[in-house]
Structure 1
Amino acid sequence: MNLKEFNAIVSSPADLRYEYFVKKTADTQILWGLYDEGWAMTHDQDGAALLPLWPKGEFAEHCAIDEWSAYSSRPLDLLAFMDKILPKLEQDGVKTAIFYNNSDSAIVGASKLLQDLEAALKKY
């Protein structure tokens, strides 16, 4: 991906980045998080825990700054994520912060993300 394409995607509104995330993740069967002795986490304005996720490692690395500067991108297998992690997030009340760009992200509940990923996978 060239820099112009990268910047265009990163600067898109959160809802469009979410759509890109779902499509790209279904296509590659991989999603990305930031990891350093544990997964990077953040919080919404009410203090609720959020797990940030990205469609490609480059986008995750772009956010490995400030409190995440020691973190590096790590891939997650999509089907294992859907089967094991999303139900646990739902049970624990943890939402996802999809495609954070150092400014904002799409905040999505685990069950909604699971539904959207399942729908996207049916197209393949």
Structure 2
Amino acid sequence: MSTPLEPTMVETIKGYDAEKRFKYLVKEVVTNREIWILIDEHGCVMLNTDDEDCVPVWPNKEFAEAWATGEWDTCKAEAISINKWHSRWTHGLEDDGLAIVVFPNENEDGLVIFPDELDFELKQQAKKSK
């Protein structure tokens, strides 16, 4: 379970570029052992890029909830344990041909990667953290 972020820290992190937000997400997910998605009555929220259908993920509840506005105001932030992510989500997303948009900001700007790439980065960070 993660500790709530201070509002000043949230604002600082919002200013990060996509690459820096990706690195932050990897560290936070490994430290807190959870990754955040948004869900609605149909399941996981999806985004579409020109090339890919994507599942957006966030490192902290605060950032996921910040996206639950406008057309997504009925969505809820949900944590997925890192173990469940590795055992079910990575393969499930790959099987469905879905990509991941990492920690998108208000402009829907985020790094688009494949599930196995995120899985690899999370495992590498876990090795460093030991």
TM tier, shorter chain? over 0.9
Structure 1: which 4+ aligned runs deviate by more than 4 Å? Answer: none
Note the residue ranges of structure 2 that are not aligned, 5 or more in a row.
Answer: none
TM-score with structure 2 setting the length? 0.90
Q: Distance in 2 between matches of 1:90 and 1:10?
A: 28
Q: Distance in 1 between matches of 2:10 and 2:101?
A: 19
The percentage of aligned residue pairs carrying the same residue is 28
Instruction: State which of 95, 99, 112 in structure 2 corresponds to 1:91.
Output: 95
What's 2:25 paired with?
Answer: 21
1:102 deviates by 1.6
What's 1:4 paired with?
Answer: 8
1:67 deviates by 2.1
Aligned residues: 123
Q: Distance in 2 between matches of 1:111 and 1:79?
A: 14
Q: How does 1:1-124 map to 2 (within 5 A)?
A: 1-37=5-41, 38-46=43-51, 48-103=52-107, 104-123=109-128, 124=130
1:30 deviates by 0.5
Aligned CA RMSD, in angstroms, stands at: 1.1
1:46-102 deviation digits (Å, cap 9, x = unpaired): 3x2100000110000111112211101111011111111101211222000110112
Note the residue ranges of structure 1 that are not aligned, 5 or more in a row.
Answer: none
1:28 deviates by 0.7
The residue type equivalent to 1:44 in the other structure is T
The residue type equivalent to 2:82 in the other structure is L
TM-score with structure 1 setting the length? 0.94
1:8 deviates by 1.0
